[in-house]
Structure 1
Amino acid sequence: MDPETALGLVKTGSTLLLLDVPQFTLFGIDTQMFSVGPVFKGIKMVPPGTHFVYYSSSDRDGNDFSPIIGFFVTAKPSEVIVRKWHQQEERLIKLSEDEEERYVVAVKKMEFDHQLGPYALDRYGEWRQISNYITEDIVERIEPTGGEITIANEAGLIDTVPKTAMERNLVEQLRNSKFSKPAEKSHKRGCYYTSIPHVIKHKGMSVEELTSLNLDKTQLLETTLMKDFGGAEDKMLGELQFAFIAFLMGQSLEAFHQWKSLISLLFSCIEAPFQTRSQLFTKFVKVIYYQIKYGFHEDQLSKVGAERKDSVFLDHEWLSKDVFLRLLCKEFFSLVLGAPVVDGDLLSWTRKFQKLLETTFGWEFHNNGPDGAFEEDDEFAPVVEMLDDVSFEEGLPA
């Protein structure tokens, strides 16, 4: 990058000024994570938009780490966001308006420029792929009071969650840290996620009617969309992305549960993908495709650094062949790939997602055709019905 281009990005991009962060602290922004050096004062050239900042304090040797704390920020062009390390609480805090303004002026005079690391713009595309539906309004609606997302505030979930390999690791980390007792006493609540019922119950309905509603959750999807999202499909997808990022990067069990709930709701619909919400399901499959591609991509591990790879990327053991996602996907793939009429974009992304799961985890899905695939001239292949183009954000990498 030539000096003139870099200077332009410094002036138009946002700056995240982080004061007094101890050396060896693990710090991340979006898909980038590294160990803090002795002169680190933050990140410059941050593209405007929504970002996720997360960090984990360490001991003096950089060997033991506390539970991750994360928060979303919405950066405006040329904005300076200031946080300062609180040594006793081992977390980043906001400053008073007067003190913050002094630092903002100093940043704009480029007094901290040599102590600010540049945002890796070559990684921005992958961040947009997993966050393109998250808006400032969505963050403000869901984020906890104070904005901090951390398993340290989720001690009440320890004895109630199913113990997958990842959940056991997170729970053990919390129990062994100094955060466990304060979290139990603080009674801080977590994020304000949309409530998704696992079982539909209505008084006066017959057993057959209730069974039908629970087998096909199209009606529940419609009710949830209208009641909780004002009919805006993209807001539901934004919450799905919010939960995934809070789970993957913020290591939040609460977020993992919400991600599972939304995934289960959408994959449990039979009528909606074909009749009422074809475009929603095309966008949904694209969202989860990039989530799995990013979260389990082995090539990404080399970009994280050796300090704590499990902080940002998921172990393949987390998704064994018996877990919910494989079972839900098996039914969904059978539904879409076996349908006589299906939207072309939905069919294309479903096939692409199935291939990703098969190559990433070695899963096998047996659908109507040999090995789950149809030949182009197969008389039993789905009829592709091309609907209006689904609107995705322009400029995102394919």
Structure 2
Amino acid sequence: MDADTALELVKKGAALLFLDVPQHTLLGIDTQMFSVGPNFKGIKMIPPGPHFIYYSSSNRGGSEFSPMIGFFVDLNPSEVIVRKWNIQEERLVKVPEEEEERYAQAVRSLEFDKYLGPYTLSQFGEWKTLSNYITKSVVERIEPIGADISVIHEPDVLENGPKTAMEEALSEQLRNANIPQSDDTLKKRGCYYTKIPRLIKKKGAISQDLTSLNLDKTSLLESLLVKDYGGNEDLLLGELQFAFIAFLMGQSLEAFFQWKAIVSLLFGCTDAPLHSRSRLFTKFMKVLYNQLKYALHKGQTDNNAGAKGPLTLLDDSFLSADSFLQHLCKEFFSLVLEAPVVDGDLLTWTRSLKELLETSLGWVFQQNNGDGVFYEEDDEFAPVVVMTDE
């Protein structure tokens, strides 16, 4: 990149100025993470739009890390956001408005330029595939103004309701993580995620109807789209992406449960993907494909234990062969791939997701025995096919 192009990107791009951040602090923006050095003051050349900032402070030697803290921002061209490290709270806090404007002007005048690392533009495309439905309105709708997303503020998330084996492991990991208890002045409100019922209840409905409603969650999906999303499918997908990013990068347990709830809701629909909402489900398959592709790639390439932080949420149990995701995918793949009529784009992305999981994780969903009978290779309930002499 020549000097003139770089200067233009610096002037038009947004910037983050972080003051007094201790050395060895892990700091990330979007899919990029690095360790803070002695001359680090922030990041420049950031493309406008939504971004996720997350960080974890360390001990003096950089060998132990505190729980991750993160927040979303929606940046305008040439905007400068200033945060200062608070030693007592061990987090980044806002500075007074006058002070922020003074620092912002200094950044625009290039006074801090040599202390600002460039945003890696080659990774921006990857970030867009994970966040293309996240808009300013999505962020404002879910994230309280000025609040941090952190497991520090989520001590009771795993205390209510049934848990899978993975969630039990996360609960134990959380209890053993030595997370400090915040006093009342530091407690932040949780994110305003949409409440998604695990079971559908309808007053006056007979048990047979309730069973049907819970076997096909299309009616629940339609109700939520109207009541909570104003009929806008993309807002639902934006919340799905918000939760995934806050879960995987920000290590929020609350976000994991919201991501799981939305995925379970959509995979629990049998009528909508084949009829009324095929376009939504095509987009959902593409979103989920990009999320799992990124998660799998991250798990294979990120060998730095410190960079993963104190709670590694994407552990083996999350993508194990008996995970909730595997069971949901199995049912949905059968629904779409065996349907007599299905939207072509939905079929393509369903096949792509199935292939990704089969090749990357070795998951086996179905096997065709050549006679039109499908069964799972290790399924004890698979039909026994007896060949006759006829």
1:246 counterpart residue number: 246
Report the AA paired with residue 109 of structure 2: K
- Report the Cα offset of residue 361 of structure 1: 1.3
In structure 1, C-alpha distance between the alignment counterparts of 2:9 and 2:168, rounded to whole Å: 40
Decide whether the 8 Å contact of 1:152 with 1:183 is kept in 2. Answer: no
In structure 2, C-alpha distance between the alignment counterparts of 1:121 and 1:307, rounded to whole Å: 24
1:177 counterpart residue number: 178
- Report the Cα offset of residue 301 of structure 1: 2.1
- Report the Cα offset of residue 205 of structure 1: 1.1
Q: How many residues align?
A: 372
Equivalence map 1:191-270=2 (5 Å): 191-270=191-270
In structure 2, C-alpha distance between the alignment counterparts of 1:185 and 1:83, rounded to whole Å: 19
1:288 counterpart residue number: 288
In structure 1, C-alpha distance between the alignment counterparts of 2:75 and 2:184, rounded to whole Å: 33
Report the AA paired with residue 210 of structure 1: L
Decide whether the 8 Å contact of 2:330 with 2:365 is kept in 1. Answer: yes
Report the AA paired with residue 202 of structure 2: H
Decide whether the 8 Å contact of 1:316 with 1:361 is kept in 2. Answer: no
In structure 2, C-alpha distance between the alignment counterparts of 1:141 and 1:27, rounded to whole Å: 25
In structure 2, C-alpha distance between the alignment counterparts of 1:126 and 1:238, rounded to whole Å: 16
Report the AA paired with residue 343 of structure 2: D
In structure 1, C-alpha distance between the alignment counterparts of 2:312 and 2:323, rounded to whole Å: 21
2:321 counterpart residue number: 321
- Would you identify which runs of 4 or more consecutive aligned residues in structure 1 move more than 4 Å? 163-167, 183-187, 310-313, 367-374
In structure 1, C-alpha distance between the alignment counterparts of 2:353 and 2:330, rounded to whole Å: 11
In structure 2, C-alpha distance between the alignment counterparts of 1:280 and 1:241, rounded to whole Å: 14
Tell which deviates more after alignment, 164-173 or 22-31: 164-173
Equivalence map 1:277-356=2 (5 Å): 277-297=277-297, 301-302=301-302, 305=304, 307-309=306-308, 314-356=314-356
- Report the Cα offset of residue 300 of structure 1: 6.0
Decide whether the 8 Å contact of 2:251 with 2:313 is kept in 1. Answer: no
Q: 1:184 to 1:173 in 2, by over 3 A?
A: farther
List gaps (5 residues or longer) in structure 2: 375-390
Q: 1:169 to 1:205 in 2, by over 3 A?
A: closer
In structure 1, C-alpha distance between the alignment counterparts of 2:373 and 2:106, rounded to whole Å: 60
Q: 1:367 to 1:284 in 2, by over 3 A?
A: farther
Report the AA paired with residue 307 of structure 2: R
1:30 counterpart residue number: 30
Decide whether the 8 Å contact of 2:229 with 2:235 is kept in 1. Answer: yes
Q: 1:312 to 1:81 in 2, by over 3 A?
A: farther
Q: 1:129 to 1:167 in 2, by over 3 A?
A: farther
Report the AA paired with residue 329 of structure 2: C
2:131 counterpart residue number: 131
Decide whether the 8 Å contact of 1:72 with 1:147 is kept in 2. Answer: no
Q: 1:77 to 1:167 in 2, by over 3 A?
A: farther
Identity %: 60
TM-score, reference length from structure 2: 0.89
- Report the Cα offset of residue 189 of structure 1: 3.0
- Report the Cα offset of residue 318 of structure 1: 2.2
In structure 2, C-alpha distance between the alignment counterparts of 1:187 and 1:22, rounded to whole Å: 23
Decide whether the 8 Å contact of 2:27 with 2:36 is kept in 1. Answer: yes
Tell which deviates more after alignment, 170-179 or 261-270: 170-179
Equivalence map 1:95-134=2 (5 Å): 95-134=95-134
- Report the Cα offset of residue 101 of structure 1: 0.8
RMSD after superposition: 2.4
Q: 1:370 to 1:47 in 2, by over 3 A?
A: farther
Decide whether the 8 Å contact of 2:147 with 2:188 is kept in 1. Answer: no
In structure 2, C-alpha distance between the alignment counterparts of 1:75 and 1:314, rounded to whole Å: 29
Q: Secondary structure at the match of 1:160?
A: coil
Q: Secondary structure at the match of 2:54?
A: strand
List gaps (5 residues or longer) in structure 1: 375-398
In structure 1, C-alpha distance between the alignment counterparts of 2:169 and 2:182, rounded to whole Å: 20
Q: Secondary structure at the match of 1:93?
A: strand
In structure 2, C-alpha distance between the alignment counterparts of 1:189 and 1:72, rounded to whole Å: 15
Deviation by residue 1:309-365 (Cα, 9 ceiling, x = unmatched): 367883343221111111110000000000000000000000000000111211001
Q: 1:111 to 1:313 in 2, by over 3 A?
A: farther
